[in-house]
Amino acid sequence: MTASVPVVVDTDVFSRVVMTAPTGPYLKYRTLLDGRPLLLAAQTVAEMRAGALIRQWGPTRVAAMEARIDRFAVVPVNEWMTRHWAELKAACRSAGHALGDKHHDGDRWVAATAHYLRLPLASNDGIYVKAPGVDLLV
């Protein structure tokens, strides 16, 4: 894939690469994402906002987060994406992959967004490794 191909960014990469300066295993995403249009799943935005509320961020920090979110397209959930989510859950359960577990419903929405758009997913979360139908950017 070329650098111009868009990529769906999971919450962990968004929070550790886009929101802050990456460190450790997240350093590689600077190169992997360079020049690519980045897309956010609605789930990622919801998780970011929930995290800010739970951690009781102040208005300045919330505004900075919202400004970062506003720089990217947020992919809304639609009828076709719900089908991809369901198919992904069934495929993962059939394969015995943990992404099919109820505990990972949120992660599956992010993966379904990438799957629906036929785009790679940028995530450092091991739940996506070897998940059926998930094109993980590595």
Q: What is the pTM of this model?
A: 0.92
> What SS3 class is residue 117?
helix
| Gap between the Cα atoms of 41 and 43, Å rounded | 5
62 near 36, Cβ under 8 Å?
A: no
pLDDT digits (tens, 9 = 90+) for 63-75: 999 999 999 999 9
What is the mean pLDDT for each group of 10 consecutive residues in the chain (138 residues)? Answer: 83 94 92 94 97 97 96 95 96 97 96 96 96 93
All structural domains of the chain, each given as residue ranges with its CATH number in brackets, are 7-128 (3.40.50.1010)
pLDDT digits (tens, 9 = 90+) for 103-124: 999 999 999 999 999 999 999 9
